[in-house]
């Protein structure tokens, strides 16, 4: 009798198991993908909803795999993100292929979506912020914070912090020479000076230095920092010039300290060393970290930088940060366009450079328990974005490899912890 | 020789001095260059020596002090300046420099005292006020600088001095209202300075500043007598500011106010109307011209009627080109244009621009009403009124084209183009000439005409020219025999002449395959050009095309057309209330004979076709308000910054506000 019942139960259980097997969805990130940027948003929001997924490093451009449900399928369709429905066995086969020891691929579990903060002033500025554009387009939620919030200790509520076109040296972006009479510049200076005064600082430089210290401590305690454009070099300059007045008198009315370059302390910095400050208020550069602008020498059509290859299994972090469907990416200018190789510390990992030109475009490093990534240039899809230019329409650049690097940084903190620590 | 000795000594002395002076100049240039390079340490000894050797030379003193300040050697800088004052050398300038140094050291009160003392000592010297004001600006003491300039006006009894300096100082201080008011004061005192003020504002390119400037200027003009010499200039500036900030209603209101103020016509609304036309703000433009139609008499009224008719026509064309409104709305606007044109000719048969009006009426008769008899009547009237020959040729050409008399059309349109010096008529002639060649199958000639039209970026026909040329290119690429283009040409001709039932069978073979290179464009053309009777057909076509080609470059446009049609269908009572169109494509009559897989949307929403019964329609939930709202939302999701995104958002807001 018992045998009879068992014989009846087995097929039933097998069928039940089959019913329970979930379908999977693969979001390819190679050239077949219709909208790479929104794909990041879909997978990010999937994690926000409590789901998990996998990032298949170096598999078809760094594809994503997750369980299929109505919600994600609808999102993918509405956002025109190409996907492939897989059965469980197909998914297992792909994982096995990726995990083979002789291939440079790896599968990284994506767990919880990071909470994102973007350091940006509350008022509109006459230039776009590539990271904000990417986040908005990919529909990834974030909070805006600025000086008051940072100095109030709110950074501890976040996992990931973005800094874009900021000037942490207190020189208001060094726009003084061209824009000192422009209403937006006047407003910005006044607002910052008012904030500094209200918070008890003698100058904007001192205010920004404290902000830099807070961010430094945030990273040291395990936070992720991503900086682009002038936020990259000015962050390190502020750290190196701690306690020195490096702001020309034309800009803030106070005289410079003497012998500045000899007194810089490069032990404090994250990524850069052996640089010199540029204190001429008429020059739109902060230091010798940034490469020279030379629009005439190199044609835009030939200006590229190349991503390095890393071992997906042994170096998952830089591999995650360099996932892309192309290996060479079009260059783009910014206030800090790219970094001179001889100013980069040895402890830093170079992720992308312009070969033969000693210019590093994209780098990554560790500080304390956290990490930072610096990406030179202002807007990956605007070769020379100037003040007052309209913001880039990302719906025209749905497959932008330059923007993918930004979004890699957003997703990377979601990776399973043990994979991150390399 | 001894007699020459004094002369020689004198000569020697001259060359010695000259040589010394030359070397000093050289040293000064070197020092300046070092300063520019921020090499203050190297510049300092050179400038120190120059100053010590020439204490009376202000320029050496000034650069030396600047160098010390740059090196943050403020003690030394202060002592050098005090020495200069004590020795009575350039006391005023030195005092100002001293104030700056003290200010830099944080001793702002003392700095203020010295500035004030300097002014007290030179209370009648305008240059002193200027220097002190500049110094204060350098030290960012803007409020103090403002006080100085105002004091200067009182003390020197001249309310117009330092207008530019005050305006600039207010701007630096972030006091934009005060700044623009100073600029306006400058214009009031010297109207010829308007160009400078406008340039200054234009260079700022700041929306916030423009808004503030517009508000302040409006208030000023309400108070200023309209007979003031500067009023007209300031009004022009206000108009420009309001158009830049897209405040069209305000621009209209003020222009009306200005026009009402004066006893004679100043044409403020007239010129604004033309500007609004250029900005495609046709509703406001019509309002502007209507003012003269309703309130004026004589030639102004007649001219306004012509502009009004033209505005309605342009408005309809704009809406139609982008399919922003229903067919009914286009008709309404065209009827208004037609009625105003006809009324104008009735009231003023001898109107000097009657050619243009006749041309407008003929175009409307053919393009909108598809009524060649009407067009012929207007042509007869044009001829009887001894109209301009170029316009007569143009009208004859258009009618010949309508009647498929291509040879006559070519001749007449070519003559029209040659005979006219009116660029608008020339462009229209060329466009219809190219259309004639296209319909006649002479694609090479058509391309030649179109190329010249495309280059005229401001031409209304440039976009149509590009579109037609692309069709010709793609058609020739797809089929070198020209049969595809021939079918398209025939089809478009039938639509052009209102023979829709003849046109649709010609397009059917092309549209049967959703992936045909012309399928998208023809779908969009039909959605734009077919009347409301064909809404059901158009809706099905658009649904089909959107599903089949999700990566089409015309996707946004097709999605918009579909949503607008769905709204129109819903407002007409739904699909069940619609008549079957006079013609229905055969591929809609059977279930999916193309072998095409149903899309996810088709699975989700019930597919509607010509065979769907009323009871089946009742059970379908797709044509409710939510569905239509979702259609517009989909456009925003896919094209958040697209051309139709703002219109879609408006539609969704309208749905949200309208009660169920």
CA distances for B278 relative to A226, B234, B275, B319, B335, angstroms: 45, 22, 5, 15, 22
pLDDT of B274 > 50? The answer is: yes
For residue B611, the model assigns a pLDDT of 56
pLDDT for the residue B577 = 53
Per-residue H/E/C for B486-542: HHHHHHHHHHHCCCHHHHHHHHHHHHHCCCCCCHHHHHHHHHHHCCHHHHHHHHHHH
Contact: A186, B642; criterion CB under 8 Å: no
Residue A132 touches partner B, C-beta closer than 8 Å = no
Residues of chain A neighbouring B550 (CB-CB closer than 8 A): 80
Q: What is the mean pLDDT of chain B?
A: 85
**A56 pairs with which residues across the strands?**
A63, A107
The pLDDT tens digits of the residues spanning B383-423 come to 998 888 999 999 999 999 999 899 999 999 999 989 888 88
CB A79 within 8 A of CB A73: no
A182 CB neighbours in chain B (<8 A) are 204, 206
When CB atoms are compared, the residue of B72, B638, B641 closest to A256 is B72
> Higher model confidence: residue A262 or residue B36?
A262
| A406's tokens | 């930004």
Residue B172 C-alpha, separation from nearest chain A C-alpha, in angstroms: 6
CA A268 to chain B, closest CA, distance in angstroms equals 25
Under 8 Å CB-to-CB from B293, ≥6 apart: which residues?
Answer: B301, B304, B305, B308, B340
pLDDT at B21 over 80: no
Is residue B584 within 8 A of residue B612, CB to CB? The reply is no
Q: If DSSP codes are grouped into helix, strand and coil, which group holds residue B466?
A: helix
Q: Give the span between the Cα atoms of A304 and A332, in whole angstroms.
A: 8
Confidence of residue B4 (pLDDT cuts 50, 70, 90): confident
Smallest Cβ–Cβ distance between B206 and the set A78, A182, A190 belongs to A182
Could you report the per-residue pLDDT of B648-659, keeping only the tens digit for each?
888 887 776 665
Residue A31 touches chain B, beta carbons under 8 Å: no
Q: What count of Cα atoms within 13 Å lies in the side-chain half-sphere of residue A374?
A: 32
Name residues whose C-beta falls within 8 Å of residue B544's C-beta, 6 or more positions apart in sequence. Answer: B514
List the structure tokens of A80: 């025109």
Q: A266 near A273, Cβ under 8 Å?
A: yes
Look at residue B80 and tell me whether its pLDDT is greater than 90. Answer: yes
Find the mean pLDDT for residues B482-506: 85
- For range B552-559, the mean pLDDT: 91
For residues B509 and B507, what is the distance between their CA atoms, to the nearest angstrom? 6
Q: How far is B207 from chain A (nearest CA, A)?
A: 10
Q: Which residue of B has its CA nearest to A389?
A: B205
Contact between B401 and B435 under an 8 Å Cβ cutoff? The reply is yes
- Dmax over CA atoms of chain A, in Å, equals 98
CB A133 within 8 A of CB A391: yes
Contact residues on chain B for A77, CB-CB shorter than 8 A: 600
pTM of the model as a whole: 0.73
Q: What is the mean pLDDT of residues B622-642?
A: 82
Q: Does B638 touch chain A (CB under 8 A)?
A: yes
Report the share of chain B in percent with pLDDT over 70: 89
- The residue among B529 and A399 whose pLDDT is bigger is A399
| More reliable by pLDDT, A197 or B613 | A197
**Site from B34, B136, B172, B648 to mutate, A interface, most A CB atoms within 10 angstroms:** B172
pLDDT category at B85 given cuts 50, 70, 90 is: very high
Question: In Å, how far is B643's CA from the nearest CA of chain A?
Answer: 12
How many Cβ atoms are within 10 Å of B129's Cβ, its own excluded? Answer: 26
How do strand A160-163 and strand A116-119 relate by DSSP bridges? parallel
Residue B412 near residue B394, CB atoms below 8 Å: yes
Q: Which helix (H) or strand (E) holds A365?
A: strand A359-367
8 Å CB contact of B634 and A78 = yes
Mean pLDDT of B633-640: 84
Residue B618 scores a pLDDT above 60: no
Per-residue pLDDT tens for A172-193?
A: 999 999 888 888 899 999 999 9
pLDDT at residue B108 greater than cutoff 70:
yes
Could you report the predicted ipTM of this complex, rounded to two decimals? Answer: 0.73
A123 touches chain B (CB under 8 A): no
Least confident range of A240-249, B124-133, B177-186, B442-451: B442-451
- Interface size between A and B, measured as CB pairs under 8 A: 60
* Strand A116-119 to A143-145 pairing: parallel
How crowded is the C-beta side of B40, counted as CA atoms within 13 Å? 20
| Residue B74 sits at the chain A interface (C-beta within 8 Å) | yes
Pairwise CB contact (< 8 Å): B171 & A181: yes
Q: Are B309 and B341 spatial neighbours (Cβ–Cβ below 8 Å)? A: yes
Chain A residues touching residue B205 (CB < 8 angstroms): 388
Residue of B nearest to A393 (CA): B641
> Tens of pLDDT along chain A (422 residues)?
655 555 454 444 444 444 334 589 999 999 999 899 999 999 999 999 999 999 999 999 999 999 998 889 888 887 889 999 999 999 999 999 999 999 999 999 998 899 999 999 887 676 778 999 999 999 999 999 999 999 999 999 999 999 988 899 999 999 999 888 888 899 999 999 999 999 999 999 999 999 999 999 999 999 999 999 999 999 999 999 999 999 998 898 888 898 899 999 999 999 999 999 999 999 889 999 999 877 777 778 888 999 999 999 999 999 999 999 999 999 999 989 999 999 999 999 999 999 888 899 999 999 999 999 999 999 999 888 888 788 888 888 999 999 999 999 999 898 866 455 44
Interface test with A, best of B556, B632, B638, B642 (most A CBs within 10 A): B638
Q: What is the mean pLDDT of residues B500-510?
A: 88
Do the chains contact at B104 and A253, CB–CB below 8 Å? yes
The lowest-confidence range among A132-136, B283-287, B600-604, B650-654 is: B600-604
Query: What is the token pair recorded at A121?
Result: 């002033």
Distance CA B94, CA A389 (A): 44
Which residues from chain A sit within 8 angstroms of residue B551, using beta carbons? Answer: 34
* Phi and psi, residue B299, nearest 5°: -65, -30
- CB atoms closer than 10 angstroms to residue B380: 11
Chain A closest CA to B35's CA: distance in Å? Answer: 10
Asked whether A126 and B208 are in contact (CB, 8 A), the reply is no
Q: Nearest CA to CA, how far is B131 from chain A (Å)?
A: 17
Band of residue B23 on the pLDDT scale cut at 50, 70, 90: confident
Q: Mean pLDDT lowest for which of A349-353, B157-161, B637-641?
A: B637-641
- Asked if A190 reaches chain B (Cβ–Cβ under 8 Å), the answer is yes
Average pLDDT, integer, range B546-552: 87
Distance, in Å, from the CA atom of B536 to the CA atom of B523, rounded to the nearest integer, reads 13
pLDDT digits (tens, 9 = 90+) for A363-395: 999 999 999 999 999 999 988 888 878 888 888
Confidence tier at B576 by pLDDT (50, 70, 90): low
The rounded distance, in Å, linking the Cα atoms of A55 and A64 is 5
pLDDT at residue B12 is higher than 80: no
Averaged pLDDT, B571-581: 66
Considering only the beta carbons, identify the residue of B139, B209, B640 that sits closest to A183: B209
Kindly state whether B640 is in contact with chain A, defined as any CB-CB distance less than 8 angstroms. yes
Query: Chain A window 242-271: which residues touch B at a Cβ cutoff of 8 Å?
Result: 249, 253-258
A184 contact residues in B (CB cutoff 8 A): 206, 208
How many whole angstroms separate alpha carbon A309 and alpha carbon B74?
A: 55
Query: In the predicted model, what is the mean pLDDT of residues B12-25?
Result: 66
Structural contact between residues B475 and B484, judged by C-beta atoms closer than 8 angstroms: yes
Note the pLDDT of residue A289. 96
- Whether B88 contacts chain A with CB within 8 A: no
The structure tokens listed for B4 are 């020459």
Q: What is the pLDDT of residue B609?
A: 54
> CB under 8 Å to A6, separation ≥6 — which residues?
none
- The predicted pLDDT at position A417 comes to 60
On whether the CB atoms of residues A44 and A411 are closer than 8 A, the answer is yes
Please tell me which residue, B11 or B312, carries the higher pLDDT value: B312
**With contact defined as beta carbons under 8 Å apart, do B64 and B80 qualify?**
yes
Mean pLDDT for B595-615 is 47
Tell me, what's the pLDDT at B578? 59
Residues 321-380 of chain A whose Cβ lies under 8 A from any Cβ of chain B:
none
Contact A253 B551 (CB under 8 A): no
Contact B647, B322 (CB under 8 A): no
The H-assigned helical ranges of B385-422 are 389-402, 406-419
* Half-sphere exposure at residue A150, Cβ-oriented, CA atoms within 13 angstroms: 26
Q: Which residues on A lie below 8 Å from B69 (Cβ)? A: 249, 255
Q: Which has the closest alpha carbon to B580: B540, B552, B616?
A: B540
Q: Is the pLDDT of residue B11 over 80?
A: no
User: Where do we find the tokens 């000439």?
Assistant: B433
Which of A34, A182, A255 faces B74 most closely, judged by CB atoms? A255
User: What pLDDT score was predicted for residue B327?
Assistant: 77
Q: Which residue is it, tokens 């305008």?
A: B126
- Residue A280, chain B, CB below 8 Å: the answer is yes
Partner residue facing A183 (CB), from B103, B204, B550: B204
CA distances from A257 to A167, A282, A284, B1, B48 (A): 19, 18, 20, 63, 21
Using CB atoms, pick whichever of A79, A137, A388 lies closest to residue B205.
A388
Say if residue B614's pLDDT is above 80: no
Tokens linked to A230: 């002038």
């Amino acid at each position: 009798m018992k045998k009879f019942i068992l014989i009846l139960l087995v097929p039933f259980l097998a069928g039940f198991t089959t019913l329970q097997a979930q379908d999977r969805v693969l979001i390819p990130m190679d050239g077949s993908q219709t909208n790479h940027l929104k794909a990041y948003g879909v997978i990010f929001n999937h994690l926000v909803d409590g789901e998990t997924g996998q990032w298949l490093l170096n598999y078809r451009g760094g594809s994503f795999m997750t369980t299929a449900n109505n919600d994600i399928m609808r999102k993918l369709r509405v956002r025109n993100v190409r996907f492939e429905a897989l059965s469980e066995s197909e998914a297992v086969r792909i994982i096995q292929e990726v995990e083979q020891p002789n291939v440079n691929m790896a599968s990284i579990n994506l767990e919880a979506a990071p909470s994102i903060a973007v350091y940006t002033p509350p008022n509109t500025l006459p230039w776009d912020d590539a990271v904000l554009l990417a986040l908005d387009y990919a529909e990834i939620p974030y909070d805006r914070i600025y000086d008051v919030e940072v100095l109030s200790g709110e950074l501890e509520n976040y996992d990931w912090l973005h800094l874009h076109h900021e000037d942490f040296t207190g020189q208001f972006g060094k726009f003084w020479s061209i824009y000192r009479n422009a209403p937006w510049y006047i407003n910005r200076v006044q607002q910052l000076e008012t904030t500094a005064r209200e918070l008890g600082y003698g100058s904007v430089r001192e205010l920004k230095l404290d902000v830099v210290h807070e961010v430094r401590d945030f990273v040291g305690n395990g936070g992720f920092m991503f900086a682009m454009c002038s936020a990259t070099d000015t962050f390190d300059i502020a750290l190196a010039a701690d306690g020195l007045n490096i702001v020309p008198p034309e800009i803030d009315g106070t005289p410079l300290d003497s012998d500045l370059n000899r007194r810089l302390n490069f032990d404090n910095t994250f990524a850069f060393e052996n640089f010199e400050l540029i204190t001429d208020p008429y020059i739109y550069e902060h230091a010798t970290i940034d490469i020279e602008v030379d629009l005439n020498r190199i044609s835009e059509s030939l200006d590229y930088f190349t991503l390095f290859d890393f071992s997906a299994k042994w170096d998952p972090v830089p591999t995650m940060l360099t996932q892309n469907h192309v290996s060479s990416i079009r260059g783009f200018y910014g206030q800090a366009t790219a970094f001179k190789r001889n100013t980069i510390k040895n402890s830093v990992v170079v992720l992308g450079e312009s070969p033969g030109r000693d210019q590093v475009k994209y780098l990554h490093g560790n500080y304390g328990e956290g990490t930072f990534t610096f990406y030179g240039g202002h807007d990956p899809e605007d070769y020379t974005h100037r003040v007052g230019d309209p913001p880039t329409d990302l719906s025209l650049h749905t497959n932008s490899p330059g923007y993918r690097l930004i979004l890699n940084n957003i997703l990377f903190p979601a990776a399973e912890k043990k994979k991150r620590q390399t | 020789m001894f007699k020459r000795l004094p002369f020689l000594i004198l000569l020697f002395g001259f060359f010695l001095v000259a040589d010394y002076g030359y070397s000093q100049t050289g040293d000064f240039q070197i020092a300046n260059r070092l300063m520019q390079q921020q090499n203050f340490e190297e510049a300092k000894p050179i400038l120190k020596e120059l100053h010590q050797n020439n204490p009376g030379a202000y320029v050496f003193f000034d650069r030396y002090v600047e160098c010390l300040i740059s090196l943050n050697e403020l003690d030394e800088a202060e002592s050098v300046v005090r020495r200069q004052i004590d020795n009575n050398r350039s006391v005023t300038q030195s005092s100002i420099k001293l104030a700056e140094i003290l200010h830099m050291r944080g001793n702002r009160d003392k700095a203020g005292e010295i500035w004030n003392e300097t002014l007290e000592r030179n209370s009648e010297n305008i240059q002193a006020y200027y220097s002190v004001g500049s110094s204060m600006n350098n030290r960012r003491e803007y409020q103090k600088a403002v006080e100085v300039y105002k004091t200067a006006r009182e003390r020197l009894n001249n309310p117009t001095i330092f207008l530019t300096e005050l305006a600039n100082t207010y701007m630096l201080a972030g006091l934009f209202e005060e700044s623009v008011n100073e600029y306006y004061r400058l214009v009031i005192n010297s109207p010829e300075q308007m160009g400078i003020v406008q340039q200054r504002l234009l260079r700022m390119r700041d929306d916030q500043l423009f808004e503030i400037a517009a508000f302040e200027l409006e208030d000023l003009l309400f108070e200023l007598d309209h007979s003031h010499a500067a009023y007209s200039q300031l009004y022009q500036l206000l108009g420009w500011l309001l158009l830049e900030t897209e405040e069209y209603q305000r621009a209209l209101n003020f222009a009306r106010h200005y026009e009402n103020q004066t006893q004679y016509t100043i044409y403020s609304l007239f010129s604004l109307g033309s500007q609004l036309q250029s900005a495609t703000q046709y509703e406001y433009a019509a309002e502007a011209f209507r003012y003269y139609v309703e309130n004026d008499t004589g030639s102004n009224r007649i001219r306004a009627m012509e502009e009004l008719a033209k505005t309605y026509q342009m408005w309809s064309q704009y809406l139609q080109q982008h399919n922003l409104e229903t067919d009914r709305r286009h008709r309404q606007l065209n009827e208004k244009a037609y009625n105003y044109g006809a009324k104008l000719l009735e009231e003023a048969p001898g109107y000097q621009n009657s050619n243009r009006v006749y041309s407008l009426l003929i175009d409307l008769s053919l393009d909108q009403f598809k009524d060649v008899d009407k067009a012929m009547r207007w042509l007869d009237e044009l001829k009887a009124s001894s109209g301009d020959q170029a316009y007569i040729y143009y009208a004859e050409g258009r009618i010949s084209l309508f009647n498929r008399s291509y040879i006559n059309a070519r001749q007449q349109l070519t003559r029209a183009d040659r005979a006219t010096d009116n660029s608008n008529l020339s462009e229209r002639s060329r466009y219809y000439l190219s259309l004639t060649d296209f319909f006649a199958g002479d694609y090479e000639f058509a391309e030649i005409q179109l190329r010249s039209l495309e280059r005229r970026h401001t031409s209304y026909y440039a976009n149509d020219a590009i579109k037609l040329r692309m069709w010709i290119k793609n058609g020739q690429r797809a089929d070198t025999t020209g049969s595809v283009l021939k079918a398209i040409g025939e089809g478009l001709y039938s639509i052009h002449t209102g023979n829709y039932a003849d046109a649709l069978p010609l397009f059917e073979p092309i549209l049967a395959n959703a992936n045909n290179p012309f399928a998208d464009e023809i779908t969009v053309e039909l959605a734009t050009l077919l009347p409301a009777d064909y809404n059901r057909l158009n809706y099905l076509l658009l649904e089909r095309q959107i599903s089949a080609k999700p990566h089409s470059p015309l996707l946004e446009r097709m999605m918009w057309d579909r949503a607008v049609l769905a709204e129109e269908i819903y407002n007409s009572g739904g699909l069940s209330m619609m008549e079957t169109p006079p013609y229905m494509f055969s591929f809609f009559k059977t279930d999916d004979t193309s072998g095409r897989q149903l899309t996810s949307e088709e699975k989700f929403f019930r597919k509607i076709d010509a065979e769907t019964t009323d009871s089946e329609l009742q059970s379908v939930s797709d044509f409710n308000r939510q569905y239509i709202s979702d259609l517009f939302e989909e456009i925003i999701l896919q094209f958040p910054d697209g051309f139709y995104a703002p219109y879609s958002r408006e539609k969704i807001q309208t749905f949200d506000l309208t009660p169920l």
